[in-house]
Chain A
Amino acid sequence: MNRVLLVHLCLSSLALAQDARQIMSEVQSRSQSKSQHYEGTLTVTDSRKRIAEKRWEYNRLGSHGDSKAMLRFTAPSEVKGVALLILNHPDRASDQWMWIPANARERRIALQDRSTRFFGTDFSFEDLEERDVDQYDYKLLGEDPVDGAACWKIESRPKQGKSSQYTSSLLWVRKDNYAIARVESYSKEKIVRRLQYSDIQKVQGVWSARKLEMFDVGRNSRTTMILDKLQYNVPLKEEDFTLQALRRQS
Chain B
Amino acid sequence: MRRGLICLVFASASLAQDFAQRGFLDTRLVLYPQKSADDKGRVVAESWLRYEASRLLLPGLRLHGALDARTDSHRQVEREPHIDFTDRTLRRPALSVRRLSLVYNRGKVTAEAGKQLIRWGKADVLNPTDRFAPRDFLSVVDNDFLPVTAARVTYESGANTIEAVWQPLFTPSRTPLLNQRWTVLPPEAAGIALRDGGSRYPEGSQFGVRLGHIGKRYEGSVSFFDGFNHLPLLDGRFDPSSRSVQVQRFYPTLRMFGADTAVPLHWFTVKGEAAWFTTRTAQADEYLLYVIQLERQSGEWSFVGGYAGQAVTDQRSRIDFSPDRGLTRAFLGRASYTIDASRSVAVDTAIRQNGGGVWLRFEYSQLLGQHWRATTGFTLIRGEPDDFLGQYRRNSHAILALRYSL
Residues of A within 8 A of B (CB): 44, 46-48, 50, 52-53, 76-78, 80-81, 92, 95, 103-105, 108, 110-113, 115-117, 120, 221, 239, 242-245, 247-249
User: Given A52-B341, A52-B370, does the pair A77, B107 have CB atoms closer than 8 Å?
Assistant: no
Q: Is the pair B341, A113 in contact by a Cβ cutoff of 8 Å? A: no
Residues of chain B from 67 to 107 with CB closer than 8 A to chain A in the complex: 103, 105, 107
Q: Is the pair B341, A44 in contact by a Cβ cutoff of 8 Å? A: yes
Inter-chain CA distance A189–B219, complex, in Å, is: 35
Interface string of B390-406 (1 = CB under 8 A from A): 00000000000000011
B370: chain A residues at CB < 8 Å are 52-53, 76-77
Inter-chain CA distance A112–B262, complex, in Å, is: 14
Inter-chain CA distance A243–B108, complex, in Å, is: 11
A112: chain B residues at CB < 8 Å are 264-269, 296-297
A113: chain B residues at CB < 8 Å are 269, 296-297
Inter-chain CA distance A174–B371, complex, in Å, is: 41
**Of B121, B219, B405, which one neighbours A77 at CB under 8 angstroms?**
B405
- Expressed in whole angstroms, the minimum distance between the Cβ of A68 and any Cβ of chain B is 12
**Of B154, B299, B338, which one neighbours A120 at CB under 8 angstroms?**
B338
B112 at the interface (CB under 8 A from A): yes
Interface centre among B22, B62, B300 (most CB of A within 10 A): B22
User: A-B pairs with the 10 shortest C-beta distances?
Assistant: A77-B405, A110-B264, A113-B297, A78-B405, A120-B341, A104-B117, A244-B110, A110-B269, A80-B22, A105-B119
- Expressed in whole angstroms, the minimum distance between the Cβ of A106 and any Cβ of chain B is 9
- Count A-B contacts at CB 8 Å: 96
Q: Is the pair B342, A243 in contact by a Cβ cutoff of 8 Å? A: no
Residues of chain B from 338 to 397 with CB closer than 8 A to chain A in the complex: 338, 340-342, 367, 370-371, 373
A76: chain B residues at CB < 8 Å are 370-371, 405
B22: chain A residues at CB < 8 Å are 77, 80-81
Beyond A81-B22, A243-B156, A244-B154, list 18 extra A-B contacts (CB 8 Å).
A46-B341, A50-B342, A78-B405, A95-B214, A104-B145, A108-B269, A110-B268, A110-B269, A110-B295, A112-B264, A113-B269, A116-B297, A116-B300, A117-B338, A120-B338, A221-B341, A248-B110, A248-B112
User: Given A115-B299, A244-B156, does the pair A239, B107 have CB atoms closer than 8 Å?
Assistant: yes
- Expressed in whole angstroms, the minimum distance between the Cβ of A108 and any Cβ of chain B is 6
Which residue on chain B has the smallest CB distance to residue A80? Answer: B22
- Expressed in whole angstroms, the minimum distance between the Cβ of A241 and any Cβ of chain B is 11
**Of A50, A105, A111, A239, which one neighbours B264 at CB under 8 angstroms?**
A111
Which residue on chain A has the smallest CB distance to residue B104? Answer: A248
B161 at the interface (CB under 8 A from A): yes
Inter-chain CA distance A116–B299, complex, in Å, is: 5
Q: Is the pair B110, A46 in contact by a Cβ cutoff of 8 Å? A: no
User: Given A52-B342, A76-B405, does the pair A104, B299 have CB atoms closer than 8 Å?
Assistant: no
A50: chain B residues at CB < 8 Å are 340-342
Inter-chain CA distance A92–B265, complex, in Å, is: 16
Inter-chain CA distance A116–B302, complex, in Å, is: 9
Inter-chain CA distance A115–B300, complex, in Å, is: 10
A247: chain B residues at CB < 8 Å are 110
- Expressed in whole angstroms, the minimum distance between the Cβ of A222 and any Cβ of chain B is 11
B154: chain A residues at CB < 8 Å are 244
- Expressed in whole angstroms, the minimum distance between the Cβ of A142 and any Cβ of chain B is 34
Inter-chain CA distance A103–B219, complex, in Å, is: 19
Q: Is the pair A117, B300 in contact by a Cβ cutoff of 8 Å? A: yes
Inter-chain CA distance A80–B405, complex, in Å, is: 10
Q: Is the pair A242, B156 in contact by a Cβ cutoff of 8 Å? A: yes
**What are 23 A-B interface contacts by the 8 Å CB criterion?**
A48-B340, A50-B341, A77-B405, A81-B20, A81-B22, A108-B219, A108-B262, A108-B264, A110-B269, A112-B265, A112-B267, A112-B268, A112-B269, A113-B297, A120-B338, A120-B342, A221-B340, A221-B341, A239-B105, A239-B108, A244-B105, A245-B105, A248-B103
B24 at the interface (CB under 8 A from A): yes
- Expressed in whole angstroms, the minimum distance between the Cβ of B211 and any Cβ of chain A is 14
A110: chain B residues at CB < 8 Å are 264, 268-269, 295, 297
B219: chain A residues at CB < 8 Å are 108
B145: chain A residues at CB < 8 Å are 104
Inter-chain CA distance A249–B110, complex, in Å, is: 11
- Expressed in whole angstroms, the minimum distance between the Cβ of B201 and any Cβ of chain A is 24
A81: chain B residues at CB < 8 Å are 20, 22
Which residue on chain B has the smallest CB distance to residue A109? Answer: B297
Which residue on chain A has the smallest CB distance to residue B106? Answer: A239
- Expressed in whole angstroms, the minimum distance between the Cβ of B313 and any Cβ of chain A is 28
Which residue on chain A has the smallest CB distance to residue B18? Answer: A249
Which residue on chain B has the smallest CB distance to residue A247? Answer: B110
- Expressed in whole angstroms, the minimum distance between the Cβ of A63 and any Cβ of chain B is 19
